[in-house]
Amino acid sequence: MKSFKLAKYNIKSSIKSIIIYYSIFITVLISISILIVNKSSGAGVGSAGIEFSSMIFLFVIGLNSFKENFYFTQANNIPRIDYFKSQAITILPIALGMSMLDVIINRIYNIFVACPTIYDMAYGGSSYSVENVEAWTQSNSIETLIGTVTFLFAFYITVFAIGLLITMIFYKCNKTMRIIVVLSPLFLQVILARIAYNFPNVSDKVTSFIDSLLGISTKNSYMSVITFICLFIISMCFVYMLVRRVVVKRG
């Protein structure tokens, strides 16, 4: 019960940021639309994957949703397990609402400017290219709409969970560990590049494996939905392990 109340608090405290984000987002899209529509040379201009901005926004929300919320739960002697549950509950309606809103915004934006979603580019029937924007048509079938919303929803909850996990790792780590965590993606990239260079077969297999996980070749978006949900669950399991022993820091 407390986790629902806490989720209500989390959602209420995020609403303001979401409104500000969409105000800026919509303003930018309107500006782009006006510029393109008013320009005679605007024909053939397009954009793609504008939902990436929502993904970045939710990642930042994830990064910011630990310390203050956790301290507030501690001020009210709310068990850590309830805090964990509340975080999981919070992201579900936010991600669902944002994915639906993004699809609506995308469809409206498409009236003025050709703009496929990530889903359209990865799983859509007709391919989109910058050189031939006008040849691309967006499908508005129920299947596409549901596919886009579920894909975005799964994508959004995953980036939120990763953001939350990263901020918790940072909270738990000392300065040295924080530096290691910051540098680890760089090391990982170097190692992967070396592997790709020295063992092309391995690289091909990894690429093929990721392709299968995301269902890109088979044009099956539900594969990526399952993959993202699994990633969300794995990230939240780590969050749970960290939150069980996390403490209020002094000062």
Residues lying near another protein in the complex (CB under 8 A): 2, 5, 8-9, 13, 68, 71-72, 74-79, 81-82, 245, 247-248, 250-251
Taking the C-alpha atoms of residue 194 and residue 17, their distance in angstroms, rounded to an integer, is 41
Q: Which of residues 179 and 247 has its CB atom nearest to another protein in the complex?
A: 247
As measured in angstroms, the least distance from the Cβ of 77 to another protein is 4
Would you give the DSSP letter of residue 174?
A: -
Say how many C-beta atoms besides its own lie within 10 A of residue 151's C-beta: 25
Q: Which of residues 8 and 194 has its CB atom nearest to another protein in the complex?
A: 8
H helix runs in the chain, sequence order: 2-38, 51-64, 67-75, 80-112, 118-123, 142-172, 175-198, 200-214, 221-244
3-class state of residue 114 by DSSP: strand
Backbone angles phi, psi at 114, to 5 degrees: -65, 120
Q: Which of residues 70 and 109 has its CB atom nearest to another protein in the complex?
A: 70
Q: What is the torsional sign of CA 23, 25, 31, 36?
A: negative
As measured in angstroms, the least distance from the Cβ of 71 to another protein is 4
As measured in angstroms, the least distance from the Cβ of 69 to another protein is 8
As measured in angstroms, the least distance from the Cβ of 67 to another protein is 10
As measured in angstroms, the least distance from the Cβ of 231 to another protein is 29
Extract the tokens encoding 129.
Answer: 């290219």
Q: Which of residues 88 and 118 has its CB atom nearest to another protein in the complex?
A: 88
Say if CB 238 and CB 248 are below 8 A apart. Answer: no
Q: Which of residues 53 and 64 has its CB atom nearest to another protein in the complex?
A: 64
Q: Which of residues 77 and 198 has its CB atom nearest to another protein in the complex?
A: 77
What's the number of CA atoms in the CB half-sphere (13 Å) around residue 125?
A: 8
As measured in angstroms, the least distance from the Cβ of 247 to another protein is 5
